[in-house]
Chain A
C-alpha cells in the first residue's frame, strides 16, 4: 500500500506528533508498504529519513501552552498540491487536521481515502468556535477520524461535533524492555523526570516543592531531570541544602531515555494539564519503572485510575511527596506496579497499534481507490487539462 503521512509541525523540532509519525512510517516500511511523509522543516539538511519531504520553513505560533511550528499559505499549498498529485497515494493520513498547517491544507486540497488523527486535547476555546463553521466542511471530508485518547475524542466531539475511533499512540515496547540501566544514574532512591521542564504545565515546580518533604523521610533521595531547558533557573526556587540532590542531564536521545527509565527507581509525571495522551508513561511502563503521575484526565485514563501506577492529586505537592515515599519505601508495591505496567505496555506496542491503524485505512478506502486532487474533479478544470493536453 502507498501511504502518505503529513505532519503539521516542523520535522526537525522534537515533538510527540512527529515522533509518532516517524515510528509509524518505520513500522509500515518494515511491513513492506511505501511511505512518504510531508512536513515543514526549518533546516532541510537536518532531515535524515529519506522518506521525508520538506514543505518549507515553518512559522512559530503559540498554541496550547507551547510554541507550535506550523506552515500555511499559498506557497505551502502549492507544495502540498504537488506532493499529493505526484504521490499516487492509496491512503493519506493527516495528523492534527484541525490545526492551521499542512494537514488542513491537504484536507482541503485532496479527495478520496483521507484519514485524520487528532492528538490534542484542549478545553473549550473561543477561537475554535469562531472557525468551526469553516473547518467543518473540510474536516468532514475525512473518511475516518482517529483520536489518540478518550480525552482527544471528547475534544473533537465538543469542538467539531464528530465522533472518532480511539487508537492510542504507539511505542516499541521491546526497545524499552530490553534497554540496559546506566550505572551512573541507577542508585537506590532515585526519582526520574523527563520533559521540557521550563514549561509550567510539565509541573516540575510541583515536584521540586515536594522534594523537602521526601528528603525528611528519605534523606538519600536523588532527583534526575532530563530534557531541554535551563537547569540553573529551575533550581532558584529550591532550598540550597537540597540542591546537591538534583541533577540535570539536559536533552537526552531515545537510547539514553530508555536506559534512564531502566535506571531510576520511580518515574514521576507531575503535569498539570494540556496532555492528551502521555506517551512517556507508556514508555515508562514498558521499561518496568513504577510510576507516580498527576490525576489529570489523560493520565487517569492511561493508568486506568491507578491500576498501573500511583495517581496523586493534581498540583498538590504534599500528596505527591506522600505517593513517592510510598513507592520508594514499599518494595512489594513497586514490584507489583513494575510487573503490571510491563504487561499493560504491550497494548501500546506498534505491532498492535499499527494493525489497528491499518484496519482504519482499509475501511476508509474503496476498492482500487486513490487519493486525488479536489480540483481534478471540477468540470472546468477537466476542461482546462484537456485543453493543455491538446
Chain B
C-alpha cells in the first residue's frame, strides 16, 4: 500500500505532540510529589520541635525525656531514606506520652496541637503515598523509559510511614 507523502509529517508531528504531552503529565506528577513532600516535611519538623518542647516538662521522667529527645533529633537529622524509620520511632515515643492522661490534662494546648498535627500527618501521608505511586507507575511505562521522559528527575521515594500507630496517638 502506498502512503501519500503528506501523511508522514502528520505522523511525526503527532509523535512529537504525544511525547511532549506525556512528559508534561509526568512533570505534573513530579510536581505533585514535591508539593506533598514539602508540606509533609513541614508538619514533621513541627512535630519534632513540639516533641522537644514536651521534654521541658518537669513532670516527664528522665528516661522518657531521653527517648523523646533522641527520637526528635534523629527525626530531624535523618535523610530521606531513613526518614520514615526515624519518624516512626518518634511516633512511638509520643504515643507513650500521649497515653499519660494526667499529663495531657495538664498541658491541653500542646497535646491538642499534637493531635491536630497527627490528623494532618495522616492526610498528608495518604496523599503523598498516592502521588509517589502514581509517579512511579507512570515512569515504569515503556514509552517513558525508552524516550527517557523523566529526564534527570530523581525517582520519588516511597515513604513507608506507619499509618496505624499514628491513629493510636490520637486516641
- Show the binding face of A for B, using Cβ within 8 Å: 111, 137, 140-141, 143-145, 162-163, 165, 355-356, 359-360, 362-367, 369
A140 and B35: CB pair below 8 A?
no
Bound complex: CA A144 to CA B123 (Å):
10
* A-B contact sample (11 more), CB < 8 A, given A143-B32, A165-B127, A363-B124: A140-B29, A140-B134, A143-B36, A143-B131, A144-B127, A145-B130, A165-B126, A359-B124, A363-B40, A363-B127, A364-B127
User: Chain A contacts of B127 at CB under 8 A?
Assistant: 143-144, 165, 360, 363-364
Q: Report if B120 contacts A (CB, 8 A).
A: yes
| Cross-chain contact A363 with B130 (CB below 8 angstroms) | no
Given A140-B29, A163-B130, is A360 in contact with B38 using a C-beta cutoff of 8 Å?
Answer: no
- Pair A365/B35 contact, Cβ less than 8 Å: yes
Size band of the interface chain B makes with A: 20 to 34
**Residues of chain B in range 87-144 having any CB-CB distance to chain A below 8 Å:** 119-120, 123-124, 126-127, 130-131, 134
- Contact pick for A141, options B28, B34, B119, CB 8 Å: B28
- Specify the main secondary structure of chain B where it touches its partner: helix
Residues of B within 8 A of A (CB): 21, 25, 28-29, 32, 34-36, 38-40, 119-120, 123-124, 126-127, 130-131, 134
A137, B36: Cβ atoms under 8 Å?
no
Q: In the complex, A269 Cα to B101 Cα: how many Å? A: 41
Task: For A140, list chain B residues within 8 Å (CB).
Answer: 25, 28-29, 134
Cβ–Cβ < 8 Å partners of A356 in chain B: 119, 123
Smallest distance from the beta carbon of A149 to chain B beta carbons, Å?
Answer: 16
From residue A260, how far is it (CB to closest CB) to chain B in Å?
A: 34
Q: A140-B25, A140-B28 are in contact. Are A366 and B134 (CB under 8 A)?
A: no
Which chain B residue has the least Cβ–Cβ distance from A115?
B127
Bound complex: CA A141 to CA B29 (Å): 8
Give Cα A355–Cα B122 distance, bound, in whole angstroms. 13
Contact B134 A162 (CB under 8 A): yes
Q: How far is the CB of A319 from chain B (nearest CB, A)?
A: 36
Question: Is A367 in contact with B38, judged by CB distance below 8 angstroms?
Answer: yes
Interface on chain A toward B: helix, strand, loop, or mixed SS?
mixed
Q: B130 is contacted by which of A162, A355, A367 (Cβ under 8 Å)?
A: A162
A163 to B126 CA separation, bound complex (whole angstroms): 9
A302 → chain B, closest Cβ, in Å? Answer: 20
Does B35 lie within 8 Å of A165, measured CB to CB? no
Bound together, the chains give a CA A242 to CA B40 distance in angstroms of 61
Q: Which residue of A lies closest to B137 (CB)?
A: A161
| List of A residues within 8 angstroms of B126 by Cβ | 163, 165
Provide the residues of chain A in CB contact with B123, threshold 8 Å.
165, 356, 359-360, 363
Residues A362 and B120 in contact, CB atoms below 8 Å apart? yes
Interfacial chain B residues near A143, Cβ < 8 Å: 32, 35-36, 127, 131
Q: List 25 A-B contacts (CB under 8 A).
A: A137-B21, A137-B25, A140-B28, A140-B29, A140-B134, A143-B36, A143-B127, A144-B127, A162-B134, A163-B126, A165-B127, A355-B119, A359-B123, A360-B127, A362-B39, A362-B120, A363-B39, A363-B40, A363-B124, A364-B35, A364-B36, A365-B39, A366-B35, A366-B38, A366-B39
B119 to chain A: closest residue by CB: A359
- A360–B134 Cα distance when bound, in Å, is 18
Nearest B residue to A111 via CB reads B28
Q: How far is the CA of A359 from the CA of B40 in the complex (A)?
A: 11
| Closest partner residue, chain B, to A355 (CB atom) | B119
Inside 8 A of A366's CB, which chain B residues have their CB? Answer: 34-35, 38-39
Q: Which chain B residue has the least Cβ–Cβ distance from A113?
A: B35
Chain B residues near A364 (CB-CB < 8 A):
35-36, 127
Select the residue from A111, A143, A355, A363 with max chain B CB neighbours within 10 A.
Answer: A363
Minimum CB–CB distance for A116 against chain B, Å: 12
Contact indicator A363/B36 (Cβ below 8 Å): yes
Tell me the complex Cα distance, A85–B40, Å.
Answer: 29
> Within the assembled complex, what's the spacing in Å between the Cα atoms of A111 and B28?
9
A356-B118 Cα distance, complex, nearest whole Å: 12
Q: How far is the CB of A257 from chain B (nearest CB, A)?
A: 31
Residues of B within 8 A of A365 (CB): 35, 39
Chain B residues, Cβ within 8 Å of A355: 119
Report the Cα distance A356→B124, complex, angstroms: 11
